[in-house]
A and B are shown apart, each in its own frame.
Chain A
């Protein structure tokens, strides 16, 4: 049994690279699963693609079937049409307990840019559900992701990680937005996109006193739904330019593959509006706003996910004790999980070995009882019990050694030996 992850995240790669390796929509992920199943048919997969990370989890019953790091890099290179040399070193690989620990950290938001953020849980859930719908996952990844969600819950309950600023929007508005604007109740906020990130951002902005909200989305129904939740106004996508010219705060959270706001378009808008301050928060990966927009004039303050890194690092240092506690929980849970899956791997062999030996003892007892018909019921029972005890005592040392081996790692060698010695067939 093997668990493996290849990934790049906000710590290993900048947004320029992440956005090129991202899977911006469910359709992309489904296409990736189809391609992976053709290339590595004996593996299970789950893809997590968010603004902060692109991760591919794979698992195999037989470690010999696992694709190599280079194989998976080749897949990403072919799928996204990005040369391998541009990302090989930033695309890390973890295996076994390290891969499990990594997922537990991701799910608990230890690995997130904004410590304690909750959105990652729903992103992992969605990724897991999509892999289930497309049958890309299997028993191992199923167990792994179920456990990751449970660990995330435990970490959030037992530590103070989820206290304070725990969303990207809260960090961006708290550290940058509030340094630009004194108040938000007289500002117009334009939200581009109508997903979970948009909703989370609006929740925070509403708490900051924002009264005028405009939601603009390609699907007008979704824009209406989100706008109604926050007493905002939904606008059709073709009114984007008009909406941009009235906004003081723009939060873009679309899953667009290319920027939706170009420098030229925005320059025209600024000609109409003048150089009044405007706070643009681009939470898309790939980015929704061309980076050159911030250079149009002095009043434009544009931030993307990576621009929040320094602020998040500052918050992280403040909560070192909560991180240490969370890490110890994750360590404990990783060990437990690995022990369980190794133990699970030995289960079928132990069962077969027991059944095989008991079957032999039953056959021999039948022969013995036919030869000794004078034995009464009580005597037969005594003989049967003695033989069972002998079989169990003989089985005990090898099985105990197997269990011991499974505590520290996959007992692959031991299982192979047992199979050979006792001619066990799967």
Chain B
């Protein structure tokens, strides 16, 4: 079933798009990862212009994090005060990211930059996951091996501008979460990812936030940052394809529900290795596209 995407201005197979959405949803349901980092490159592969893929992915993440946010709010696992600090950084980061996006596009370097960023990011995440998965597979017999003690005091506690975050039971400088939020905002605008793979470990290891509230608070930030990014991109880049986002979103929600069930039945370590291999595969394909001589050296852009 061919669907014409009005902003991307390409016709794509609607079922394929739905399939990609559900596959990414399945992954997020199984592993609790957002999946934006794998969604956007897959959109490149099926011929969606990178600028549209990135901006529409931000729109899709806004939708998918909304229901997750509501669930976390019911469980009271959102630290709103921390969330607001992350969000303040996120808004600024997103605004900067949209400017970078515009400049890169004007110079015809957006596709290259975003591909390189993805190669580096997916390569790193994939390798880390593979190592972690192998290690977990080896020490499966030791049930306590995965429990890493949370550091109560890190260098982040020595910085000024200290704020008390009650939900997280922390008294820590607002600067590190602000910077982390800003970084994630830039990534949302330039790469079309939520940024959970950076935010979650950074909040746990750098700031010492309890794992229980990290996810809920991150989702709160992603929701508003991606919504803000979507609006900025709509106004400045005009590359948000709401129809594309909607199809991915519906596929994603269904996939996520299935993913939770599947994830509970299968062995986590083996799944993790499988996901790592998938991430590395996507990374390799992106890299190959950059290195192998393209069939068409010329490209057109409206001017």
Are A and B physically bound partners?
no
